[in-house]
Chain A
Amino acid sequence: MIEATGLRKSYRVGRGRGASTVEAVRGVDFAVRRGEIVGFLGPNGAGKSTTLRMLATLIRPTGGVATIAGVDLLRAPGEVRRRIGFVAQASGTYDDSTARRDLVLQARMHGVTKAVAQELARSAIRAFQLDDFADRKIRTYSGGQRRRLDVALGVIHAPQVMFLDEPTAGLDPPSRVRMWQEVRRLRDEGMTIFLTTHYLDEADSLCDRVSIIDAGRIVAEGTPSALKREISGDVITIGFGTTGAAEDPVGTGVQTATKLLADQPYVHSCEPVDGALRLYVDSAATAIPQVMRTLLDRGVEPGAIEARRPSLDDVFLAKTGRSLEE
């Protein structure tokens, strides 16, 4: 449904001699199949939104090509617009308007008559359960209600492909779960969905496939479970409390432990994260006693120890050397 090759975007910043070029997206290739939910996972500024906005015909790529629902993005942006829906990060509604008014207008902007637009608005209100507040001013809506309206506006013309930019950013947990249900419902109705997120759990539980993007490049791609399987074994996180003594400031525990454990045969790799140490091992059950012995032999007192299965954050850390959660 979506095929992108070498998609690039660079901006010129400043004027005259002080001008420089910022590479927002440095050439990404990916494909999304019909009926899939595919997510771009990455930190803020990684180029997720820029990629999405290029595909949604809002900004022109500096280089590369893309086909959306069989239409060439660069040659026929008008045709692409008929086939796609887009929900931006910013809400895109007037506080003083109402859900019904905006839905009718949105439908009419797609070229239907007033009567058809009103009918489409009615069914959208029903489908997204906006009935209780459809005729109230939008400024009175909760974050979750507003976001549901945004998505309803984006799909009023039943597009084949839907672009969602950070669909649940800033929502409370129940509203997020609700939004995930709506997204799955749209997929079940036959839409192909491409979204961006910086939430690990969202990428993990909502997306069929995930592209991890960092600094304008895709660094890993696959189903969440396949990505996590690349990180074989378990993850052990060791916290280090400080003794409070002047000769042991924060961080020496982590540094010493890194030196001690990095060369141990049972440790695949270790990464200091946020005053703690993450170890990647085959099996936590056999590694933990060994870790304890190694540390205590050298007089290093570990704090809390936690063992778990790898998460997408571990994938991100392995690919970029940084954690998404920082």
Chain B
Amino acid sequence: MKLVRDTWLVFQQEAGLMVRNPVMVAFSLAQPITYLVLFAPFLKVVMVDRGASSYADAYRIYVPGLFVAMGLFGGLFAGYGLLSALRAGIIDRCRVTPVSRTGLLLGRALMHVCLNVVQAVVVTLVALPFGLRVHLGNLLVSYALLAVMVLLSTSISYDIALLVRNENSLGVLVNTVGQPVSLLAGVLIPLVLAPVWIQRVAFWNPFAWATDGMRALFTGQILQTVVWQGALIMVGLAAASLFWSSRLFNREVS
């Protein structure tokens, strides 16, 4: 109960600061919108042999990929915020109070989840005029999947940040890990177009499963096994990673 209350408290504070800085929110939307408008049309051409004959088909393939990219990168840079809060003494100030330690971390992570889901809603709305059509129930499930992914990537970022304690190393690590993981998840071009060896490597990429699940949701196949498989993998990993980062965080942060 205390954990829920304290998490909510920290979330409110962090979200409040974000809302008071609308320019930042607008800028964080620039990249997904750019890809949506300038990249998705390419897919229509590339995927024409695979039955993507219209913009609607291209967006049905690309938007779920974009959600996964947002889910991945939306959280991976969260560690910067944690490091700057640590450096500014904000975390110390909170840790001298009886507030829940896990709540301090979880409230921050949930702010990133919330921000990314809001962005995903904006992306969906922008894609509608281009012909994207998706069942509302499936769309809501895909937002839920996105939320779990952001929780996973945020906690991975926190893990790295708490281990390296340095913005530069964090940036290098996040980029070197993030790029191959996103490409091997087929967020830009579906893996069906990839050579066999790439597909074999991608089999071991949890985010590839999430992308497949996300695409199945957008094509209306919510009952496909890959949907629950992808979701299960994400939930499992997110829980494990969150557990680890809260252990790291609760252990003597100094």
Interface residues of A (CB under 8 A from B): 53, 56-60, 78, 81-82, 84-86, 88-94, 96-97, 101, 105-106, 108-111, 153-154, 157
Contact = CB atoms under 8 A, between A and B. Distances in A.
A86 B91 CA distance: 12
Contacts of A93: 88, 90, 93
Contact of B89 (A59, A78, A91, A110): A91
Main secondary structure of the interface of A (DSSP, over half): loop
10 contacts: A60-B252, A81-B97, A89-B89, A92-B90, A92-B92, A94-B17, A106-B97, A108-B9, A110-B97, A154-B93
Contacts of B96: 56-58, 81, 84-86
Contacts of B17: 94, 96-97
Given A82-B98, A84-B96, A109 B9 contact: yes
Contacts of B98: 78, 81-82, 109-111
User: 8 closest A-B pairs (Cβ-Cβ)?
Assistant: A90-B89, A92-B89, A92-B93, A109-B99, A86-B96, A109-B97, A88-B89, A59-B254
A154 B99 CA distance: 14
A109 B252 contact: no
Nearest to B12: A105
Given A58-B254, A101-B16, A109-B9, A88 B92 contact: yes
Interface in B90-116: 90, 92-99
B220 to A, nearest CB: 43
B16 A90 contact: no
Contact of A53 (B9, B94, B97, B254): B254
A101 B97 CA distance: 17
Interface in B228-254: 252-254
B13 interface: yes
A154 B93 CA distance: 8
Nearest to B21: A96
B159 interface: no
A293 to B, nearest CB: 57
A249 B15 CA distance: 64
Contacts of A58: 92, 95-96, 253-254
Nearest to A79: B98
Interface of B: 6, 9, 13, 16-17, 20-21, 87-90, 92-99, 252-254
Contact of A91 (B21, B88, B99, B252): B88
Contacts of A60: 252
A294 B46 CA distance: 98
A188 B20 CA distance: 39
Contacts of B95: 57-58
Contacts of B9: 105, 108-109
Given A53-B254, A96-B20, A110-B98, 13 more contacts: A56-B96, A58-B92, A58-B96, A78-B98, A81-B97, A88-B92, A90-B89, A90-B92, A92-B92, A93-B88, A101-B16, A106-B93, A108-B9
A95 to B, nearest CB: 9
Nearest to B100: A109
A105 B97 CA distance: 11
B13 A88 contact: no
A157 B93 CA distance: 13
A109 B95 CA distance: 10
B190 to A, nearest CB: 41
B93 A88 contact: yes
B81 to A, nearest CB: 10
Nearest to A94: B17
A135 B90 CA distance: 19
Contacts of B6: 109
Contacts of A57: 95-96
B40 to A, nearest CB: 35
B52 to A, nearest CB: 44
B72 to A, nearest CB: 27
Contacts of A85: 96
A78 B101 CA distance: 11
A81 B99 CA distance: 10
Nearest to B93: A92
